Amino acid sequence: MAITVAVAGASGYAGGEVLRLLLNHPAYLSGELEIGALTGHSTAGESVGALMPHLPQLRERRIVDSTVENLAGHDVVFLGLPHGHSAEIAKTLGEEVLVIDCAADFRLKDKAAWDAYYDGEYAGSWPYGIPEMPGHREAIAQSKRVAVAGCFPTTTTLGALPAVAKGLIEPDISVIAVTGVSGAGKKASVAQLGAETMGNVRAYKPGGSHRHTPEMVQNLSEYSQQGPVAVSFTPVLAPMSRGILATITAKLAPGVDAAAVRAAYEEFYADEPFCLVLPEGQQPETQNVVGSNMVHIQAHVDDITGRLIVTAALDNLCKGTAGGAVQCMNLALGLPETAGLPQAAVAP
């Protein structure tokens, strides 16, 4: 029998990107995977063709309400819902159902961190969905519940992880990340209007106030040789639809030089199909990862100040959300991890 997949929040940016990837998944093309219920709230009753004409294979399908009844009976359920809505639905789905949550409901292990940054009741934590973090690939493969990482934490974690894990830097990190407007979701917002974003760049939720900060701290502290990692994170909104470019800086540990950094990064990601350490002198660019599940990374040593400057770019909707979710689905179902996930980007 075919694997059946439902997508809650199908008409949102994350849900739509999950569908785009599934429609090109080899299991879907062979008939081994079927796309079942497509659910939403405000868009219930509308056709996919009207809402998402970029998905012509599903144009005749209609969005149905995000009820337990509509989601039940599937082998896999992707939850592309706003924060705070996943926990209740997940409780009602059987333990045999693979549930992949693209929201923050189950990402944080520390209740105090949740309470400090999110509203609503703390729901606990699930295996965390960045397979490239050592030990996480195995945990995802053995689980029926996966919490997909946030887009900023995915970029920052993969950019900084080799330096933290190898003890190349002091555990005090600064992150400035430029992001496209799709990261805020599809909801109507004055701040996201074209007239507000075109020709304009602005920082928001600076240093310590963005809710992705504790996720970054959690991820990097897991591998730190020097205790908990401090992260000061400021996002910057740029007039583009997709993409994140993060600049990560930290003081080098004593005795660390550029050759050691280069060797550590190349070794750490040598066998990772979606993490590309660029040649020396080449910088990541968002245009080179659009539509792909890749993270492009460069690590540069500033000899004058003794600091490491890591730049990392990814597509926030693909590797940063939906691509990471499908990657986790592949692992949990025993499918090839790279199935349906493009390495090549859209250019120009």
The catalytic site residues sit at: 151
Q: Kindly report the number of other CB atoms within 10 A of residue 305's CB atom.
A: 11
Strand partners for 250: 308
Q: Whose CA is closest to 238, among 197, 276, 287?
A: 197
Q: How far apart are CA 180 and CA 175, in angstroms?
A: 16
DSSP 8-state secondary structure symbol assigned to residue 321: I
Residue 81 and residue 8 in contact, taking contact as beta carbons nearer than 8 Å: yes
DSSP 8-state secondary structure symbol assigned to residue 172: E
Question: What are the φ/ψ torsions at residue 319 (nearest 5 degrees)?
Answer: -55, -30
> What single letter denotes the amino acid at residue 336?
P
Question: What are the φ/ψ torsions at residue 97 (nearest 5 degrees)?
Answer: -85, 130
Indicate the helix (H) or strand (E) that contains 15: helix 13-23
Residue by residue, what is the 3-state secondary structure of 59-83? Answer: CCCECEECCHHHHCCCCEEEECCCC
Cis status, amide bond into 153, omega within 30 of 0: no
Instruction: Say which residues have a Cβ less than 8 Å from residue 126's Cβ, sequence separation at least 6.
Output: 101, 106, 107, 143, 145, 146, 147
Q: Please give the sequence-ordered ranges of beta strands (E in DSSP) within 193-338, or none if there are none.
A: 202-203, 230-237, 244-251, 275-277, 295-302, 307-314
Strand partners for 244: 179, 314
- What tokens were used for 227? 């205790």
- How, if at all, do strands 202-203 and 230-237 pair? antiparallel
- What tokens were used for 110? 């520390």
